[in-house]
Amino acid sequence: MPHTLGIDFGTSNSAAGISVNGHPWLVELEPGENTLPTAVFFEVNPNRMRIGRSATRGLINGDEGRFLRALKSLLGTPLLHEQRRLGGERLTFVTIIARFLAEVKKRAEDQTRMDFTHALSGRPVRFHSADAARNAKAEEDLRLCYQEAGFQDVTFMYEPEAALRSAAPTPGLGLVVDIGGGTSDFTAFVQEDVAPTRILASHGVRLGGTDFDRQISIDHVMPLLGRGSQIRNSMGGGSLTAPSRLFNDLATWQMIPFLYTRETLRMAEDLQRNAQEPDKLARLVSVIEEEVGHDLAFAVEAGKIAANTPDGSAKIDLRLVERGLSSPLETAEMDQSLSDAMTTIRTAAQETLTMAGAKAEDVTRLVMVGGSSLLNAVEAELRDLCPGAAIENERAMTAVADGLALAAADAFA
């Protein structure tokens, strides 16, 4: 039987593991860490690709190069197959993801002294919500990435079902709520004292933590860079609102690298020249010219995490754009920004239960998985939907990887 590595390739973080004596064992992908940021940094001198926390340090330290994150969100899109010049090479994002997975494979093999020819990969229930063709294309793309990474074969398991594989059995009706970086997935299940766990239904939507960051940025940061500002019409009288797309892309993790072009910079400079609030648009020019869009996104993410604390008082620190600049972010303000997203998550959870022929009031367990499931707003929405359910979130960050590690033992049996 082939040696199979269970891999949780996530939008924000990744992990890998195997089953040892019936227990999950996760690879230490970095010293002292068994989760790895799904990020790459193409260094200019020397030309090399760094991954994980090393990639993030390259960005934070201001090393010369290009930082990329949220690569998983490109699966199933034409952008995945476009070539970009990075690290002195012309590469597609297929090859970039493949190199990331190949490094995960190598680190697992170095630690276990095993040759992993096969992979069991987690995947969202839906990569692209209701678009069946794009969902199929996304899995095909991901399979291609694994094959280019050196795996002879790969099979897939829905991420919430993998998380359930690692959950302690407790009798009753349960719902796995997996809020990842790019998708939200749900699995309704029943457990009994002696019978095997029964999966009733799985469902998902393309919405996750990076979308939360995006909306917070659009509402609380981009107005400071000129979003919504009036631009004088250079071809006639009157004024027009600054085009939203530029700001929306700057607020979107996976789109940020595509903004670092001469054309985009010229557009920003033209907006500044004709702006009624030129100081705000000058900040936009600075962000694009200095290529600090990802730094901005990290600041938003940090503000989101701070606003999720009990006192609920936080701010988004924007000193990297301008000395002393910040945007207050109280919990109530963040909840307002995320209200539509919370409604979408609640609706998807209810749809999962409807597909399962179950009632929300009968759910006894909510198994919360994924870093974004720890947002107070997410928990509050699910508690309101399933008032009789106990919340389980102790293993939110590793449940999917643990389940894949356990399932990898017989994935190709």
Residue 413 counted as domain residue:
no
CB distance 175 to 389 below 8 Å: yes
Domain range for 55 is: 4-161+399-408
Residue 28 counted as domain residue:
yes
Place of tokens 């994924």: 370
Q: Which residues pair with 48 in a beta bridge?
A: 43
Mean pLDDT over 101-106 rounds to: 98
Q: Which of 80-89, 221-230, 233-242, 304-313 has the lowest mean pLDDT?
A: 233-242
Place of tokens 């938003």: 300
Residue 224 counted as domain residue:
yes
Same domain? 320 vs 375: no
pLDDT in tens, 222-269: 999 999 999 998 766 788 999 999 999 999 999 999 999 999 999 999
Report the pLDDT value the prediction gives residue 331, as an integer from 0 to 100.
92
Report the pLDDT value the prediction gives residue 301, as an integer from 0 to 100.
96
Report the pLDDT value the prediction gives residue 364, as an integer from 0 to 100.
97
Report the pLDDT value the prediction gives residue 196, as an integer from 0 to 100.
85
pLDDT bin (cut points 50, 70, 90) of residue 86 is confident
Kindly state the tokens that stand for 250. Answer: 């700057």
pLDDT in tens, 127-174: 998 889 999 999 999 999 999 999 999 999 999 999 999 988 899 999
Same domain? 242 vs 112: no
Distance, CA of 240 to CA of 274 (rounded, Å):
10
Same domain? 138 vs 176: no
pLDDT exceeds cutoff 90 at 201: yes
Same domain? 333 vs 346: no
pLDDT bin (cut points 50, 70, 90) of residue 347 is very high
Q: Rounded to two decimals, what is the model's pTM?
A: 0.94
CB distance 202 to 187 below 8 Å: yes
Q: Which CATH number fits the domain that encloses residue 197?
A: 3.30.420.40
pLDDT in tens, 89-100: 899 999 999 999
Kindly state the tokens that stand for 248. Answer: 């929306």
User: Radius of gyration of the chain from Cα atoms?
Assistant: 22
Residue 314 counted as domain residue:
yes
3-state SS, one letter per residue, for the chain: CCCEEEEEECCCEEEEEEEECCEEEECCCECCECCEECEEEEECCCCEEEEHHHHHHHHHCCCCEEEEECHHHHCCCHHHHCEEEECCEEEEHHHHHHHHHHHHHHHHHHHHCCCCCEEEEEECCCCCCCCHHHHHHHHHHHHHHHHHCCCCEEEEEEHHHHHHHCCCCCCEEEEEEEECCCCEEEEEEEECCCCCCEEEEEEEECCCHHHHHHHHHHHHCHHHHCCCCEEECCCCCCEEECCHHHHHHHCCHHHHHHHCCHHHHHHHHHHHHCECCHHHHHHHHHHHHCCCHHHHHHHHHHHHHHHCCCCCCCEEECCCCCCCCEEECCHHHHHHHCHHHHHHHHHHHHHHHHHHCCCHHHCCEEEEECHHHHCHHHHHHHHHHCCCCEEECCCCCCHHHHHHHHHHCCCCC
pLDDT in tens, 46-75: 788 999 999 999 999 989 899 999 999 999
Kindly state the tokens that stand for 203. Answer: 């469902």
Residue 189 counted as domain residue:
yes
Report the pLDDT value the prediction gives residue 237, as an integer from 0 to 100.
72
Same domain? 133 vs 177: no
Same domain? 12 vs 141: yes
pLDDT in tens, 277-286: 999 999 999 9
pLDDT exceeds cutoff 70 at 107: yes
Report the pLDDT value the prediction gives residue 236, as an integer from 0 to 100.
66
Residue 254 counted as domain residue:
yes
pLDDT in tens, 360-397: 999 999 999 999 999 999 999 999 999 999 999 999 99
Same domain? 134 vs 102: yes
Same domain? 124 vs 204: no
Residue 269 counted as domain residue:
yes
Report the pLDDT value the prediction gives residue 235, as an integer from 0 to 100.
67
Kindly state the tokens that stand for 38. Answer: 């799904």
Same domain? 67 vs 38: yes
Distance, CA of 264 to CA of 114 (rounded, Å):
48
CB distance 80 to 94 below 8 Å: yes
Same domain? 237 vs 155: no
Distance, CA of 116 to CA of 149 (rounded, Å):
11
Provide the domain count of the chain. Answer: 3
Same domain? 297 vs 373: no
Distance, CA of 142 to CA of 217 (rounded, Å):
29
pLDDT exceeds cutoff 90 at 88: no
Distance, CA of 285 to CA of 211 (rounded, Å):
24
Q: Which of 59-63, 279-283, 298-302, 325-329 has the lowest mean pLDDT?
A: 59-63
Same domain? 112 vs 26: yes
